[in-house]
Structure 1
Amino acid sequence: MIPVGARVWIALGHTDMRRGMQGLALLVERGLKRDPHGGDLFVFRGRSGSLVKIIWHDGVGMSLYSKRLEKGYFPWPSAKDGVVSLTSSQLACLLEGIDWRNPRYSWRPASAG
């Protein structure tokens, strides 16, 4: 669940997914020039496109969420560096593998029967 009023930021480019909570927080602070403890959500994607990690600080502690898609990939902006802001609805689409810029699946479900 996304905290009410929290902003969602996508870190552009590819991130080394071996990084843990502290490594990603350091990347937010030094690379994105944002406060990792400010309550915003920061989303990172690996080179293959099938894994994302999200970090956020809820005022009590830092949390790390990761998701790997079995099929398809997480749609991502093409810029090499920087950050893009998303709404919570766009993040929900992204986490389902749906392109948040043009909502549809990045893979076609197999038909039943």
Structure 2
Amino acid sequence: SVPFHKVVEALGVPRDRSRHPVFQVCFGSDDTAVSEKLSFGEVSDVAGAEDLYSIAKFDLHVSFETSKDELGLCFNYRTSLFKPDTIELMLSRFELVLSQLSETNLLKDISLVSETEREL
């Protein structure tokens, strides 16, 4: 077991208090129940909603909250790096991928581009 600060020192990563020394994108999951169904782009009073407007600790942090039959997503990001339109595009791509998931679909058949975009 090596302390984290020793790993950072060994990597020779320059110190910058505004950034995490090893990674800038974080994906997390919380299995606590989502108390209210959310639509994409909607904000609701769910547990942890106070974190929606907190200062980003990473360039991009996507957290998933799951319950029996619902999935909630929270994107926390550095506004100096991402525009809201970019985050909305990421969310729409994720929604598109989810809509294509099934036991019969192969991973190679899942598209990140909608039919409308493909026709352009």
Bin for the TM-score computed over the shorter chain: 0.3 to 0.5
Structure with larger RCO (C-alpha < 8 A, sep 6+): 1
The structure with the greater share of residues assigned to helix is 2
The structure with the greater share of residues assigned to strand is 1
